[in-house]
């Protein structure tokens, strides 16, 4: 078949929409719309006899621990609210609503008892908690010989280019002789003592050169420590969690994506979790390196990236190709999308997407196809009227450069993804790349400004996963569900079509939430949560809303919703909008995905508001208003 680029251009008429006022309050879903405070009912508070105060201790939990760190957060609730509450004799502050919370330091022992006592009207109720405290293990002493609790660095699988060295460290008793060997039968090689580590003890280093990969696969690294003390000699040995091999020059191994939610990483740095793009399940790629938890895809065309090992399978056979042929490129344009479809593609292809649409007025993006056959050609149409594309250029493979599309948009990017199938029809062969700008809403009116918009709401946690728990016993999973019901109510009154990932107290896996978004294909994905600090942090250290996003194309929506929410419930504060790597934020690409933390359930002031239905409705109304603004008001 000839290599073609066929334009199929569709245009739509877009109505001008004036912002509408928010609707009146109502509850129109089948989900719970009020907080039940179920922990106050079951298991409920304790009471030492009729007329005694009712006392519930949320933290420390009755069956919790062991606890790390130097301090522990406590929290609970008492009735009546004017009761006096003490912890091991120290009076605690009781906040409105009868809640108490704070941070208390541990003593020096490895276990201790915290006794909470509530007193009112001459009667008392006592609740005790037995705590086990896990102290940091001391570094290994000089004698007897011992490996540290974290014995070596790095760990995991490392397959490096031939001749490249790997720096390794052993942590063990200081002042002795350390060696390593590769495999069961390798020769022992000396390691060099280094400055001791304050927590891990003696440090021994070496530069390891992995052997070439053979049929036996990567080899396990073994460590040995030998020494003497006061006339006694000893030697200890252990197999490590480090496996190594070298890739022969010119060899690339065959990798394949096993989960279509696999993310393409920008860096090999294990501390860097920036992701860009997702790969279709079954995408083949050549593996040139493996480092710890990720492998490198490198077609030798200047486009490289890393994939997490949990989402790929490596056969350790040479990557034979051939590269997928993308002979016929069909171009489909609507009022708010561009689709590049390859109906004859026999398998998915590795791609790299560079979003520059929010960096300047040109709104440029680049789709590179390093996994495609270098013979790929395309002659884009000279004009694409009625859609979001100002210009579309194709650059064939040349030298180290992969085939690529350069796309100039008339407005900022809204979402993108590579999808299996040349169309939305079920079981269609082929492949397509979809790029979207903010959806046009031609059915919208002043009364229904979101008519035609599809919003997916995700009430975080649920089922066995309660999420954070406030000092009153307020369960985050319940709170998220009630808030999601009210957000749906207000969005539907604005004309939007709304779908939920969770409508009941059920467990929904994080990946299933993202899969639900892929199946339903919303214009916006909003995950609803409520925040908390860790068990070893001050529960009053933070408060108020935060909105998170991962991809740059979701940032403007996060900022708009964050401003609306903060103005409504914390008008004296500046909006907080941060980038993060939450799973639902990074695994939804075709539309902006944001995650909202409305407040801190651990903070007694925030929790007091969150326990009131009117406050939940206020935040839900503000979120709906922010969504309306993000979808209808002029973009910057």
Q: Is the residue at 265 inside a domain? A: no
Q: Which residues pair with 264 in a beta bridge?
A: 307
What is the pLDDT, as a whole number, of residue 489?
Answer: 97
Same domain, 622 and 481: yes
Confidence of residue 9 (pLDDT cuts 50, 70, 90): very low
Query: Over 80: is that where the pLDDT of 575 sits?
Result: yes
Same domain, 463 and 422: no
What is the pLDDT, as a whole number, of residue 299?
Answer: 80
Same domain, 466 and 591: yes
How many structural domains is the chain composed of? 3
* Residue 162, CA atoms < 13 Å, CB-side half-sphere: 9
What residues contact 138, with CB distance under 8 A and at least 6 apart?
none
Query: Over 80: is that where the pLDDT of 235 sits?
Result: yes
Tokens of 220: 């396990």
Q: Which of 80, 109, 132 is the last residue of a domain?
A: 132
The residue length of the chain stands at: 636
Confidence of residue 7 (pLDDT cuts 50, 70, 90): very low
Confidence of residue 346 (pLDDT cuts 50, 70, 90): confident
Same domain, 487 and 618: yes
**Greater pLDDT, 477 or 23:** 477
In contact, 381 and 394? CB cutoff 8 Å: no
DSSP assignment letter at 46: B
**How far from chain centre, in Å, is Cα 69?**
25
Q: Is the residue at 591 inside a domain? A: yes
What is the pLDDT, as a whole number, of residue 263?
Answer: 78
Q: Which of 132, 153, 173 is the last residue of a domain?
A: 132
Q: Which residues pair with 326 in a beta bridge?
A: none
Q: Give the β-pairing of 413-420 and 54-59.
A: unpaired
Q: How far apart are CA 546 and CA 85, in angstroms?
A: 32
Same domain, 462 and 559: yes
User: In 3D, which of 449, 461, 436, 453 has the Cα closest to residue 498?
Assistant: 453
In contact, 357 and 409? CB cutoff 8 Å: yes
User: In 3D, which of 411, 437, 416 has the Cα closest to residue 353?
Assistant: 416
Q: Is the residue at 212 inside a domain? A: no
Query: Over 90: is that where the pLDDT of 482 sits?
Result: yes
Residue spans of beta strands (DSSP E) within 144-298: 147-153, 156-161, 166-172, 177-182, 189-190, 192-197, 201-208, 219-229, 232-247, 253-257, 263-265, 275-278, 284-292, 294-298
User: In 3D, which of 345, 516, 352 has the Cα closest to residue 422?
Assistant: 345
The whole-model pTM stands at: 0.90
Q: Which residues pair with 406 in a beta bridge?
A: 366, 393
Q: Give the β-pairing of 166-172 and 312-318.
A: unpaired
What is the pLDDT, as a whole number, of residue 176?
Answer: 98
Phi/psi region, residue 626 (left: phi>0; alpha: psi -120 to 50; beta: rest), is alpha
Q: Give the β-pairing of 524-531 and 593-600.
A: parallel
Name the residue with tokens 């600090």.
Answer: 533
Q: How far apart are CA 24 and CA 622, in angstroms?
A: 13
By CB atoms closer than 10 A (0-12, 13-18, 19+), residue 404 is: buried
Helix axes 613-632, 555-569, angle to 10 degrees: 140
Q: Is the residue at 567 inside a domain? A: yes
Q: Is the residue at 297 inside a domain? A: no
What is the pLDDT, as a whole number, of residue 358?
Answer: 62
Tokens of 62: 């009755």
Query: Over 80: is that where the pLDDT of 292 sits?
Result: yes
Residue 384: strand, helix, or coil: coil
586: containing domain: 454-632
**How far from chain centre, in Å, is Cα 384?**
36
User: In 3D, which of 20, 10, 8, 4 has the Cα closest to residue 491?
Assistant: 20
Query: Over 70: is that where the pLDDT of 220 sits?
Result: yes
Q: Is the residue at 290 inside a domain? A: no
Element housing 242 (H / E): strand 232-247
Same domain, 400 and 522: no
Same domain, 554 and 464: yes
What is the pLDDT, as a whole number, of residue 254?
Answer: 94
What is the pLDDT, as a whole number, of residue 230?
Answer: 95
Among 2-16, 540-554, 558-572, 586-600, the minimum mean pLDDT is found in: 2-16
Q: Average pLDDT of the chain?
A: 90
**How far from chain centre, in Å, is Cα 56?**
33
Same domain, 490 and 362: no
What is the pLDDT, as a whole number, of residue 3?
Answer: 39
List pLDDT tens digits, range 262-275.
777 766 666 666 66
Q: Is the residue at 307 inside a domain? A: no
Please state the three-class secondary structure of 99-116 as a single string.
EEEEEEECCCCCEEEEEE
Query: Over 80: is that where the pLDDT of 11 sits?
Result: no
Same domain, 339 and 467: no
Same domain, 569 and 596: yes
Among 163-167, 331-335, 361-365, 595-599, the minimum mean pLDDT is found in: 361-365
Secondary structure (DSSP) of 596-627: EEEEETTSHHHHHHHTSHHHHHHHHHHHHHHH
Query: Over 60: is that where the pLDDT of 20 sits?
Result: no
List pLDDT tens digits, range 368-399.
998 888 889 898 888 888 889 999 999 999 88
Q: How far apart are CA 107 and CA 71, in angstroms?
A: 9
Same domain, 492 and 595: yes
Query: Over 70: is that where the pLDDT of 240 sits?
Result: yes
> Alpha-carbon torsion 549, 554, 560, 564, what sign?
negative
What residues contact 155, with CB distance under 8 A and at least 6 apart?
240, 241, 242, 292
> Alpha-carbon torsion 573, 574, 579, 584, what sign?
positive
User: In 3D, which of 329, 324, 332, 340 has the Cα closest to residue 3?
Assistant: 329
Q: Give the β-pairing of 156-161 and 232-247.
A: parallel
In contact, 358 and 331? CB cutoff 8 Å: no
Query: Over 70: is that where the pLDDT of 542 sits?
Result: yes
What is the pLDDT, as a whole number, of residue 17?
Answer: 26
Buried b / exposed e over 163-172, threshold 16 CB at 10 Å, is eeebebbbbb
CA distances from 198 to 137, 177, 376, 441, 469 (A): 11, 19, 57, 61, 36
List pLDDT tens digits, range 451-461.
999 999 999 99
**How far from chain centre, in Å, is Cα 584?**
6
CA distances from 351 to 223, 301, 515, 592 (A): 41, 12, 21, 20
Percent of the chain scoring above 90 in pLDDT: 74
List pLDDT tens digits, range 181-203.
999 999 999 999 999 999 999 99
User: In 3D, which of 337, 333, 276, 285 has the Cα closest to residue 309?
Assistant: 285
In contact, 421 and 476? CB cutoff 8 Å: no
* Region 419-448 average pLDDT: 86
What is the pLDDT, as a whole number, of residue 21?
Answer: 37
CATH number (domain holding residue 522): 3.40.630.40
Q: Which of 380, 410, 437 is the last residue of a domain?
A: 437
In contact, 512 and 469? CB cutoff 8 Å: no
Query: Over 50: is that where the pLDDT of 336 sits?
Result: yes
Q: How far apart are CA 586 and CA 481, in angstroms?
A: 22
In contact, 442 and 472? CB cutoff 8 Å: no
User: In 3D, which of 524, 553, 552 has the Cα closest to residue 623?
Assistant: 524
* Region 481-490 average pLDDT: 98
User: In 3D, which of 342, 403, 337 has the Cα closest to residue 367?
Assistant: 403
List pLDDT tens digits, range 88-103.
999 999 999 999 999 9
Same domain, 423 and 519: no
* Region 510-525 average pLDDT: 94
Q: Is the residue at 199 inside a domain? A: no
User: In 3D, which of 305, 350, 319 has the Cα closest to residue 247?
Assistant: 319
CATH number (domain holding residue 426): 2.60.40.3500
In contact, 277 and 351? CB cutoff 8 Å: yes
Query: Over 90: is that where the pLDDT of 357 sits?
Result: no
Buried b / exposed e over 411-445, threshold 16 CB at 10 Å, is ebbbbbbbbbbbeeeeeeebbbbbbbbbbbbeebe
Helix axes 476-493, 613-632, angle to 10 degrees: 50
List pLDDT tens digits, range 298-333.
887 777 888 889 889 999 999 987 778 888 899 999
CATH number (domain holding residue 102): 2.60.40.10
């Amino acid at each position: 078949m000839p290599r073609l680029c066929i334009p199929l251009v569709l245009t739509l008429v877009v109505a001008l929409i004036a912002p509408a006022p928010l609707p009146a309050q109502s509850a129109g879903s089948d989900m719970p719309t009020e907080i039940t405070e179920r922990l106050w009912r079951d298991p409920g508070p304790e009471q030492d006899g009729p007329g005694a105060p009712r006392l519930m201790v949320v933290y420390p939990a009755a069956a919790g621990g062991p606890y790390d760190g130097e301090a522990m957060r406590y929290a609970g609730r008492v009735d009546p609210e004017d009761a006096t509450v003490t912890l091991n004799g120290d009076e605690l502050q009781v906040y409105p609503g009868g809640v108490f919370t704070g941070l208390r330091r541990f003593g020096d022992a490895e276990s201790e008892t915290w006794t909470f006592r509530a007193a009112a009207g001459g009667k008392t109720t006592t609740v005790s908690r037995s705590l086990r405290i896990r102290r940091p293990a001391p570094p290994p002493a000089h004698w007897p010989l011992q490996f540290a609790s974290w014995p070596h660095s790095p760990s995991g699988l490392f397959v490096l280019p031939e001749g490249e060295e790997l720096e390794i460290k052993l942590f063990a008793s200081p002042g002795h002789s350390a060696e390593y060997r590769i495999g069961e039968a390798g020769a022992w090689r000396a390691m060099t003592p280094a400055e001791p580590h304050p927590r891990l003890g003696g440090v021994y280093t070496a530069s390891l050169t992995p052997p070439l990969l053979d049929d036996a696969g990567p080899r396990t690294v073994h460590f040995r420590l030998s020494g003497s003390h006061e006339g006694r000699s000893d030697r200890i040995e252990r197999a490590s969690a480090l496996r190594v091999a070298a890739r022969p020059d010119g060899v690339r191994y065959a990798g394949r994506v096993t989960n279509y939610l696999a993310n393409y990483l920008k860096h090999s740095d294990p501390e860097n979790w920036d992701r860009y793009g997702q790969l279709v399940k079954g995408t083949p790629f050549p593996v040139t390196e493996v480092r710890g938890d990720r492998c490198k895809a490198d077609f030798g065309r200047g486009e490289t990236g890393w994939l997490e090992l949990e989402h790929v399978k490596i056969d350790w056979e040479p990557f034979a190709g051939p590269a997928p042929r993308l002979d016929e490129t069909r171009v489909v344009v609507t009022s708010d999308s561009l689709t590049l479809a390859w109906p004859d593609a026999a398998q998915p292809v590795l791609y790299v997407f560079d979003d520059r649409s929010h960096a300047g007025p040109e709104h440029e993006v680049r789709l590179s196809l390093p996994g495609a056959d270098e013979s790929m050609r395309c002659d884009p149409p000279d004009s694409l009227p009625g859609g979001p594309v100002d210009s579309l250029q194709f650059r064939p493979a040349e030298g180290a450069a992969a085939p690529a599309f350069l796309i100039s948009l008339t407005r900022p990017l809204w979402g993108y993804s590579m999808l299996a199938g040349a169309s939305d029809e079920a079981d269609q062969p082929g492949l397509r790349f979809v790029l979207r700008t903010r959806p046009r809403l031609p059915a919208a009116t002043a009364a229904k400004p979101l008519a035609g918009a599809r919003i997916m709401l995700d009430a975080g946690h649920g089922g066995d996963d309660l999420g954070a728990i406030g000092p009153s016993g307020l369960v985050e999973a319940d709170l998220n569900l009630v808030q999601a019901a009210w957000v749906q109510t207000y969005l539907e009154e604005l004309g939007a079509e709304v779908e939920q990932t969770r409508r009941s107290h059920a467990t929904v896996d994080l990946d299933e939430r993202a899969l639900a978004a892929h199946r339903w294909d919303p214009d916006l994905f909003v995950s609803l949560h409520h925040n908390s600090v860790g068990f070893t942090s001050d529960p009053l250290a933070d408060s108020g809303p935060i909105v998170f996003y991962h991809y740059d194309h979701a940032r403007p929506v996060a900022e708009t919703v964050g401003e609306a929410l903060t103005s409504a419930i914390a008008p004296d504060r500046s909006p907080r909008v941060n980038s993060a790597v939450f799973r639902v934020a990074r695994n939804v690409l075709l539309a902006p995905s944001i995650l909202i933390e409305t407040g801190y359930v651990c903070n007694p002031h925030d929790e007091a508001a969150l326990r009131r239905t009117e406050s939940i409705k206020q935040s839900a109304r503000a979120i709906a208003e922010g969504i309306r603004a993000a979808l209808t008001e002029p973009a910057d």
